[in-house]
Structures are given as C-alpha cells and as structure tokens.
Amino acid sequence: MALDILGPFPVTTKGNRYVLVLMDYFTKWPEAIPIPDQEASTVAEEHMKSYEEKMSDVQAVKQQIRLQSQRFDELRRKRLEEFMKGFIVIAKKLKEIYQMLTLGGDAEVELVDQSDPFEGGIELSVRPPRKSWKLMRNLSGGEKTLSSLALVFALHYYRPTPFYVMDEIDAALDVINVSIVGYFLKETTKNAQFIIVSLRNVMNELSDNLLGIYKINNCTKNISLSNVAKWSKERERPEKDS
C-alpha cells in the first residue's frame, strides 16, 4: 500500500486542510481522504488504522472466496465422477437392449466434448441389422423409435422409476417390432408399471389390464378388461388344439 499526504491547503468550509492519498498495490485503486486542520501525522495514523482494518476484512473475504472456490471445484469433480459412472453403465446397457430389440443391431452413445461432458451433451448412433452406422437424426421413424426406447430402458435399468406413461410408442413400428417391444416390456421391466397409449392389437393383447376409451352420442365412455394377456392365451388354446 502507498500513502501520501498533500498540503497544507487553505482551510475549506468544512475545516479540511490536507488530503490523504492511499493506493492499494493489489487493486491499483487510489482513494483520497480529506483531513481536518490538525497534525497531519496524527490524522494519517488514524486513517492508516482504519485502512488496515478494512484490508483485514478484505483478506477475510478473499479467504472465504478461496474456500468456496475449492468447495465448488470439489463438487464439480464429484458431479463428473457420478456422471461418468452412470454414463458407462447406461452405455453398456444401451448396447445390450438395442441388440435385443433389433435382433442383432448395435448402438453407441458418445460424449460430444470429452473435456466438458455437461457442455457438449451426448450423441447416439446405431447400426440396425444389416445396415451401416447412422446418427439418430438420420434414422427412419421406426428406427428412431427403437433407438429411443433402448435408451429409455437403459436409463430405467440404471435408475428405475416406479411408473412410465408412453403415448403411441408403437405407431411407427411394424407388427413384428411391436411384438418385440411388447414382450420386452412385459418380461424385463417387471419392477415398474407402464401406462401405454396404443392403437395396436398386438400391444393391447400383451397388456395386463386394458382400458378402452370410445365416443358414443357425443359422450366419452370407457371399458376396462383385466388379465388381458391371460385371456388372450386362453382364447388361442382351442385354435391350437383344433
């Protein structure tokens, strides 16, 4: 810190005669303080004490900033560790599930920016059976559906959710793929409840409970069926016996 006293000057209307100039070497910011008409050294000493107290407060604040910065860096490190731990598990499970849904395809999920995963996001690319690798945006409607479902199921494997609501996830799928997705939901996700809006008979026949909504005489009606899958099997049994 630099200190200088200018004066004496003619006494002002407020009784000041000197000017104390202070400059912090760190901030390079000068401060001018008017001094009353008295011994300059006495006034300078008082202002010096006041300045030192302020500087002590500044140092305390700087120390708090350093501590908070260290804590923030530690939280960022832990966040990255948790993210990468989950990312590795999800990426592996995504590959397995996509292979099951497509009967032989392959899928990869990659970080756009390896140095900062949270800034760049992720990119999903798949290789449908007997086809080349493609990014998600270059897939057909049915291929996008299977890829998206594989990712959802991989996320469900890593961090299960009690129930899901899905709206016509089978709209872009052919009958075979609807059946594959339906059986996958029924057999591998028994730790969650799925509420699915569907217009496909195959998906409806695989459901445990079916709620139908229809309109008659400008009024909305509903009908519900329980144990639909069991009823469907019993209905097919006489056909097989015959």
Which of 182, 160, 159 has its CA nearest to residue 170?
182
Question: Among 106-110, 113-117, 162-166, which is the least confidently predicted range?
Answer: 113-117
| 110: CB partners within 8 A, 6+ apart | 122, 123, 125
Structure confidence at residue 99 (pLDDT) = 95
Cα torsion 139, 142, 146, 151: sign: positive
| 173: CB partners within 8 A, 6+ apart | 142, 145, 146, 181, 200
Question: Among 17-31, 72-86, 90-104, 144-158, which is the least confidently predicted range?
Answer: 17-31
242 pLDDT exceeds 50?
no
Q: Note the pLDDT tens digit of each residue in 183-229.
A: 998 888 788 889 999 999 888 888 888 888 888 888 999 888 887 65
Q: What is the distance between the alpha carbons of residues 73 and 81, in angstroms, rounded to a whole number?
A: 12
Can you read off the two tokens belonging to residue 39? Answer: 């011994």
**Phi, psi (rounded to 5 degrees) for 171:** -60, -35
Q: What is the distance between the alpha carbons of residues 152 and 156, in angstroms, rounded to a whole number?
A: 6
What are the structural domains, with CATH classification, of the chain? Answer: 160-233 (3.40.50.300)
User: Within a 10 A sphere around the Cβ of 207, how many other Cβ atoms?
Assistant: 21
Which of 78, 145, 143, 88 has its CA nearest to residue 111?
88
Alpha carbons within 13 angstroms on the beta-carbon side of residue 215 total 1
**Phi, psi (rounded to 5 degrees) for 213:** -115, 130
Structure confidence at residue 205 (pLDDT) = 85
105 pLDDT exceeds 70?
yes
Task: Determine the average pLDDT of the residues in 163-173.
Answer: 92
pTM value > 0.75: no
